[in-house]
Amino acid sequence: MCTRHVSRNLAAYIDGGLPPVNARQTEFHLEQCGSCRGECDQVRRGMAMVEHLSVIEAPEAIWFSIEAALQDNQQREIRMAGWWRWALAATVVLALAGGALWRLAQPAGARWEVVRLDGSPSVAAKPIGGKGQVGAGEWIETDARSRAVVKVGEIGSVEVAPNTFVGVVAARPGEHRLALVRGEIRAKITAPPRLFFVNTASGTAVDLGCEYTLHTSEDGFGTLQVTKGWVAFEWKGLESLVPAGASCQTRPKLGPGIPYFDDAPESVRRALEAFSLGNNRSEALSTILSESRVRDTLTLWHLLSRVEGGDRGRVFDRIAALTPVPAGVSREQVLELDPETLKRWKEELAWTW
């Protein structure tokens, strides 16, 4: 029975903000009610889109008018009747909203060419013929039979795979930023590092001079696979550096996983998965350490900053057993996670990757 619909609770439910009992009730209702499930999908997509919007400063003129209005408000406060206050507040709100709309309506950078490869991809909800254009604030959507390629300014291209929903957040010379809500993109970038970014629900892929495939679901589960160069996957201070030939899993609210080479032993990959999910971490770590090859020091180096105390020492010892510790890198500095030492060691280890 689909009584007592849960529309009002959906945003809090998706955001994990409902008390457990209410969350279970909502979940149960969603299992029964197709209408609410559809609504839930819409809300989830809307929230994902909002998360990808860039922060835009209001124009200076708006702040002058607000300050002027506030000063004016203070001078007249005594004389003003109660309803006047509300009118002023409404004016300020309208001015702000108008300013924001005005700013959003301004072209935030260049427009990029979109070329249809298959089917009928759409830009801003309108199907494109052979070619179209996309700018900041607009979205590209492909269905199961559609593909498209986007020319990212002068720095490269992005192929949009079927069943993908991706938007342009910024299209400026110093910042080329996409938001991948769901689906898959393949990026080929020929620019200096940190000019091309892709936001996802579980972090941001930062180009360090690379070619890669990024897949994500709307809830943030995904995979980053790098074929050339480096990609940094960043989320709330956590960073995974993924070089060519390696991949990294992404998870909602956990950010980027620990990268591994695609040819890593199956046992290492399975143990890494268990470790990342928190399943019997100690045993998983032991397997990773004992089964790692020289090349898997990529994984071990990332583990250093994601384990505690004694385990960090175990990881250090395993790397040191696989390949000589270079001059300028000491056990003490590594155990303290000294950034310069870790960077120096990573750069040396990279010669074995």
Partner 1 sequence: MLRLAMVVSVVAATVLAEGFTFTIGNPVASQDFRAKGAAFVFRTEGCADPAKSQISATAEGLLKGERKSLTLQVMAMPKPGIYAVFLGWPAEGDWIVNLKGTCAEAKAGALVPIGPKGFIREASKFFHRPATDAEIETSLKALRQRGKK
- Alpha-carbon distance of 183 to 215, in angstroms, equals 6
Asked if 326 interacts with partner 1 (CB under 8 A), we say no
Asked if 244 interacts with partner 1 (CB under 8 A), we say yes
Asked if 210 interacts with partner 1 (CB under 8 A), we say yes
Member of 63, 139, 221, 353 binding partner 1 (CB under 8 A):
353
- The phi and psi torsions of 351 (rounded to 5 degrees) equal -70, -15
Q: Of 139 and 353, which has the nearer Cβ to partner 1?
A: 353
Angle, helices 34-52 vs 20-32, to 10°: value is: 120
How would you classify the pairing of strands 156-160 and 165-172?
A: unpaired
Member of 59, 119, 209, 265 binding partner 1 (CB under 8 A):
209
- Alpha-carbon distance of 257 to 150, in angstroms, equals 28
Asked if 71 interacts with partner 1 (CB under 8 A), we say no
CA distances from 209 to 93, 190, 196, 226 (A): 43, 6, 9, 11
Of residues 79 through 118, those in contact with partner 1 by CB under 8 A are none
Pull the structure tokens for residue 248: 């990294």
Scanning 107-115, 123-131, 224-232, 326-334 for contacts with partner 1 by CB under 8 A, the matching segment is: 224-232
How would you classify the pairing of strands 147-152 and 196-200?
A: unpaired
Scanning 6-14, 99-107, 174-182, 344-352 for contacts with partner 1 by CB under 8 A, the matching segment is: 344-352
Look-up: residue for tokens 């009747």? Answer: 81
Member of 59, 119, 245, 313 binding partner 1 (CB under 8 A):
245
Member of 136, 178, 206, 208 binding partner 1 (CB under 8 A):
208
Member of 59, 119, 162, 243 binding partner 1 (CB under 8 A):
243
- Alpha-carbon distance of 321 to 315, in angstroms, equals 10
DSSP symbol at 6: -
Q: Which stretches of the chain bind partner 1, using CB under 8 A? A: 191-193, 208-211, 228-230, 243-245, 347, 350-353
